[in-house]
Amino acid sequence: MNPLCKTSNMTNGYCIDCYPGYMLTGTTCIVAADVNIPYCNKVTGQICSECINGYYPKNGKCELVNVLCATYSNTTGACFSCVSGYVFQQGTCLLPSMGIDPYCIWYESSFCSRCVEGFALVSYICIQVDMNCIDFDNIRNVCRECKNGKRAEGSRCM
């Protein structure tokens, strides 16, 4: 067993993982300085095949993952979710200008532009539609028809 191996295959004795400061090249651990690829965890044939957290392998080196990504692909760097305060939309992290609106389903130029059903967009904020409104005009933000004999007055039913 190689003393630089943190974990090794019990059948053949090959290294699987190395202690900090060492990197896996093929099936053995070597001093990280022997193959100097910054932020690399695993070297295969003189190129980096696995990087430390926050980096991903690209063209044999380690590239920094977008710092706004909370979760990402270790192999491509593609963002799956964002850090708190940012919204994940079309593969990127977006900072909403007015904060995260839990009822907003689409942001455009960092402003809410579309709300979930039952909510109306008023000054870039999703506001719950009057529960008695059965026909709400999202463009003009007015209720056109109410239930239970109530009359529509602006965005409300009276």
Question: Looking at the domain assignment, is residue 39 inside a domain?
Answer: yes
**71-93: pLDDT as tens digits:** 999 999 999 999 999 999 999 99
Give the three-state DSSP class for 80. Answer: strand
78 is a domain residue:
no
Where b means 16+ CB within 10 Å and e means fewer, 106-118 reads: ebeeeebeebeee
Count how many residues are written for the chain. Answer: 158
Same-domain check for residues 103 and 158: yes
Structural domain range at position 40: 5-63
- Could you say which of 48, 63, 78 is where a domain stops? 63
pLDDT (0 to 100) of residue 32: 67
User: Is 36 part of any domain?
Assistant: yes
| Gap between the Cα atoms of 16 and 34, Å rounded | 18
Question: Of 63, 85, 108, which residue sits at a domain end?
Answer: 63
Where is the domain boundary, 42, 63, 84?
63
Report how many domains make up the chain: 2
**Is residue 101 located within the same domain as residue 155?**
yes
Question: Between 24 and 110, whose confidence is greater?
Answer: 110
Express each pLDDT in 26-59 by its tens digit.
888 877 665 678 898 888 777 888 999 999 999 9
Give yes or no for a contact between 74 and 56, defined as CB atoms under 8 angstroms apart: yes
For residue 73, what pLDDT is reported?
Answer: 96
- pTM passes above 0.85: no
Whether residue 88 is contained in a domain is answered as no
First to last CA, the chain: 81
